A and B are shown apart, each in its own frame.
Chain A
Amino acid sequence: MTGAAVGVRPVMLEAKGVTHLYGRRIGLQSIDFRVESPGVYAVTGPNGSGKSTLLRTIVGLLRPTSGTLSVQVDGRPLDGDSRRARIGLASPELSFYEEFSAAENLRFAAEVRGLPDPKAAVHDALAEVGLSERAQDMVSGFSSGMKQRLRLAFAVLHRPALLLLDEPGSHLDDAGRSIVRSVVERWRGNALVLVATNDPEEMKLATGRIELRGRRLGDTA
């Protein structure tokens, strides 16, 4: 692990009958699971089964239409503000300011999060994903693979207790996929890691699986 050591914080994530509807369309159909840190869990399921919806619900961007989803760190349930502080998400929908450099984007995120040493946090996060040499380059000039690395750096920037990776290997070459593996390995012992994927190689990183099934793409409630 580069930079400051991560304090190991016990994390518990529990879903009871969690369903999310986008209007009349089912985003996530009644799921139940309970997982605890440390560990890596693969969230799997066919396209449209709700993998991304589940991650967005965990981080607090979406509210369950029914059921309860509880995230606890150190035995304390997380609310909106503390979820943002304790959870890191790398998602394919995550974009950065094209007029800023990679370092400026992460520095902005670190400052908004109120991290004590934004410069060091940015340095460590970029080093972790192999982007140190491109830190000062504008994001507008980044390839899709480099943007994916930046998403990973963004997710680990604040040393989260719960790390959510949505299709982390997308757009990445072999070197990039190797970085995904090393990020997951580094965080395996320090956090609870959920990887939403259908990639057999990424599934091998997991010690457990949360499988979403029972509905098809575009099903209505």
Chain B
Amino acid sequence: MLQAGSNSAVAVWAILRKECRSEWRTRYGLNAALLFAVTALTAVSFSAGRLGDRQDLLASFFWIVLLFATLSSISHAFVREVEGHTLLMLRLVASPTQIALGKLLFNLLFLGVIELVTVPLFMVLMGAPAPHWGTFLTILLLGTLSLAASSTLVSAMIAQTRGRGALFAGVSLPVLLPVLAAAVGGTRGQWQSHDVTGEIKLLAAYAVALLAVSLLLYDHLWEE
């Protein structure tokens, strides 16, 4: 049992490193995500000015930028393997759960890197008020976890289907809406010094539920 767990950890770690190396060499997602984040923030900053007193708008804009900057890349986690015909190689060396966990960890890391650039830039360009850092980072962490888990799961589900682009949007919408609603509500609330315990609990529960469902589903995703 311990040996199996150790082998799985080794496999997941190797897949994570492969994803990082592949992204570094190809820049499939990083450049596009950063370009979107920077141009969106700059364009809105130029046209609408600083929105420090509009925390409702700030919160929605913050999560929209994060969502769109990262989604185009992390939603392709498995599609790239299918279109590059490398999924067979992966499946011959690792279980679907190991593959998906490696991809999920990479997506989390990817989101983290994008946030490292986007959050400070957002604060400066939008003139956002100083957040309550503990609450803000908790919401950011849980929202990131839910975004990565849901995108990885949906990406794995639709990777081998026809019309996967349309399917991703259709399947993702109901999965992502609760995350976005809670994340936007929580982010706005912490700026307005409201109690956001409800939003944090919802995000935490949703993240745990998504991870649990993912772990149950991954091994059955590609059964033929």
Binary A-proximity of B8-34 (CB < 8 A = 1, otherwise 0): 001100110110011001100000000
Contact yes or no, A93 B88, CB < 8 A: yes
Please indicate the chain A residues that have their CB under 8 angstroms from the CB of B85 in the complex: 93-95
Contact yes or no, B26 A99, CB < 8 A: yes
Contact yes or no, B14 A111, CB < 8 A: yes
Please indicate the chain A residues that have their CB under 8 angstroms from the CB of B72 in the complex: none
The contact of A112 among B15, B26, B84, B86, by CB within 8 Å, is B15
Give complex CA distance A111, B26 in Å: 22
**Contact A94/B224 with A99-B22, A112-B15, A114-B11 known, Cβ cut-off 8 Å:** no
**Contact A22/B15 with A95-B89, A154-B89 known, Cβ cut-off 8 Å:** no
Minimum CB distance partner of B9 in chain A: A114
The contact of A96 among B11, B25, B86, B223, by CB within 8 Å, is B86
- Cβ distance B22 to chain A, nearest Cβ, rounded Å: 6
The contact of B95 among A84, A91, A94, A108, by CB within 8 Å, is A84
Contact yes or no, A59 B92, CB < 8 A: yes
Please indicate the chain A residues that have their CB under 8 angstroms from the CB of B25 in the complex: 99-100
Interface assignment of A89: CB less than 8 Å from any CB of chain B: yes
Minimum CB distance partner of A89 in chain B: B92
Contact yes or no, A109 B93, CB < 8 A: yes
Please indicate the chain B residues that have their CB under 8 angstroms from the CB of A96 in the complex: 86, 89
Contact yes or no, B22 A112, CB < 8 A: no
**Contact A84/B94 with A62-B224, A99-B22 known, Cβ cut-off 8 Å:** yes
**Contact A80/B95 with A63-B223, A94-B89, A154-B89 known, Cβ cut-off 8 Å:** yes
Contact yes or no, A95 B92, CB < 8 A: no
Interface assignment of A119: CB less than 8 Å from any CB of chain B: no
Interface assignment of A113: CB less than 8 Å from any CB of chain B: yes
Interface assignment of B54: CB less than 8 Å from any CB of chain A: no
Please indicate the chain A residues that have their CB under 8 angstroms from the CB of B224 in the complex: 22, 61-63
Contact yes or no, B22 A84, CB < 8 A: no
Please indicate the chain B residues that have their CB under 8 angstroms from the CB of A114 in the complex: 7, 10-11
**Contact A113/B88 with A97-B22, A108-B18 known, Cβ cut-off 8 Å:** no
Interface assignment of A201: CB less than 8 Å from any CB of chain B: no
Binary B-proximity of A109-124 (CB < 8 A = 1, otherwise 0): 1011110000000000
Interface assignment of A81: CB less than 8 Å from any CB of chain B: yes
Interface assignment of B4: CB less than 8 Å from any CB of chain A: yes
**Contact A97/B14 with A84-B94, A84-B95 known, Cβ cut-off 8 Å:** no
- Cβ distance B127 to chain A, nearest Cβ, rounded Å: 41
Interface assignment of B132: CB less than 8 Å from any CB of chain A: no
- Cβ distance A90 to chain B, nearest Cβ, rounded Å: 10
**Contact A111/B88 with A62-B224, A99-B22 known, Cβ cut-off 8 Å:** no
Give complex CA distance A211, B85 in Å: 29
Interface assignment of A98: CB less than 8 Å from any CB of chain B: yes
Please indicate the chain A residues that have their CB under 8 angstroms from the CB of B15 in the complex: 112
Minimum CB distance partner of B18 in chain A: A108
Interface assignment of B91: CB less than 8 Å from any CB of chain A: yes
- Cβ distance B45 to chain A, nearest Cβ, rounded Å: 36
Minimum CB distance partner of A57 in chain B: B224
Minimum CB distance partner of A154 in chain B: B89
Please indicate the chain B residues that have their CB under 8 angstroms from the CB of A113 in the complex: 11, 93
Interface residues of A in 188-204 (CB under 8 A from B): none
Please indicate the chain A residues that have their CB under 8 angstroms from the CB of B88 in the complex: 61, 91, 93-95
Contact yes or no, A108 B86, CB < 8 A: no
The contact of B84 among A62, A84, A95, by CB within 8 Å, is A95
Interface residues of B in 51-91 (CB under 8 A from A): 84-86, 88-89, 91
Please indicate the chain A residues that have their CB under 8 angstroms from the CB of B18 in the complex: 97, 108
- Cβ distance A136 to chain B, nearest Cβ, rounded Å: 14
Instruction: Using CB atoms and an 8 Å cutoff, list the residues of chain A in contact with chain B.
Output: 22, 59, 61-63, 80-81, 84, 89, 91, 93-100, 104-105, 108-109, 111-114, 154
List, sorted by A's number, 15 A–B pairs whose CB atoms are closer than 8 Å. A80-B95, A81-B4, A84-B92, A94-B92, A95-B84, A95-B86, A96-B86, A100-B22, A108-B14, A109-B92, A111-B14, A112-B15, A113-B11, A114-B10, A154-B92
